[in-house]
Amino acid sequence: QDKSQICNPYYYPSLRMVVPLSEAGPLQENEPPQVVKDKYVKWWWALWALLVVVLSGRLVAGDVIGGLMSVFAIAWVLVMVKERCLQMSQYCLMMFGLCIAINGTFELITLLGVLSGRTTSQMTQPTLTGMNATTSVYTITVERHQFFDKTQGYRYNLQSAMMIMSVLSQVMCCTLAYKTYNAFSTSLFPDEDDQVSFGRNSAWQRNQSSYGGAGLPIRVNVGDRVCGAGGCIPGPEPFVGFGQRLGGGV
């Protein structure tokens, strides 16, 4: 199995049903350009080291859920940069940036909500025993502190610092993924000149070039006629004909 095809969407035909990828398929670059291997790979390794630092800080601060997201990002980056970026395809870069952007948006919303101050709550349940019954009273104490508060200990302040570092690291992930994607000379999505027109000249166009024209390309004009090397023929007309009713011919 070719390792370079693991992150290639054309290696999985089912993905092309949900992602509007270019029809070029095999014409896509199998390996990243030399500038990615020589220049951008250094920034990717630096980003990987930063993500490891963020993961360590989150675990020390007790943020297990956030640590799992950091592990996910670290593993993804490592897969792309190892073996001289063998698996750093445009599809991997696009999906990596998309996933990180979605998660980073939620973390940014959370961060903006606590910049003015963080609240902590604590519940106690003292039990009062009387002569005939036992009564339980629940007490919830809510405290509000500044985002950074020296009186709350190192763990509280480390959690605040990691919330900022996590958002910044994800912004760097998206930026680097965008820059690296644009370093490729090809694109996953078709250009305007390469797009297959919809309506009267879509699937019919491909059938004519495959069967009637012996593999020769046919020029398609959006109009009433389709012209090619063998001349012009009438194009298909949508929404024409006669209506039919089930059982009408019986």
Q: What is the pLDDT of residues 1-17, one digit of tens each?
A: 445 445 655 444 554 45
Q: What is the pLDDT of residues 189-198, one digit of tens each?
A: 765 444 444 4
* CA distances (Å), origin 120, targets 69, 115, 146, 182: 23, 14, 11, 44
| pLDDT (0 to 100) of residue 103 | 94
| pLDDT (0 to 100) of residue 215 | 44
- The one-character DSSP state at 37 is I
| pLDDT (0 to 100) of residue 195 | 45
* 42 pLDDT more than 50: yes
* 127 pLDDT more than 70: no
| pLDDT (0 to 100) of residue 99 | 95
Q: What is the pLDDT of residues 200-236, one digit of tens each?
A: 444 444 444 444 444 444 454 545 565 655 566 666 6
Q: DSSP per residue over 175-205, as a string?
A: HHHHHHHHTSSS-SS--TTTPPPPSTTSHHH
pTM: 0.62
Q: What is the pLDDT of residues 62-118, one digit of tens each?
A: 989 999 999 999 999 999 998 888 888 888 899 999 999 999 999 999 999 988 888
User: Do the Cβ atoms of 103 and 170 come closer than 8 Å?
Assistant: yes
The end-to-end CA distance of the chain, in Å, is 57
Q: What is the pLDDT of residues 233-249, one digit of tens each?
A: 666 666 666 666 776 55
- Using left for φ > 0, alpha for ψ between -120 and 50, and beta otherwise, residue 55 falls in alpha
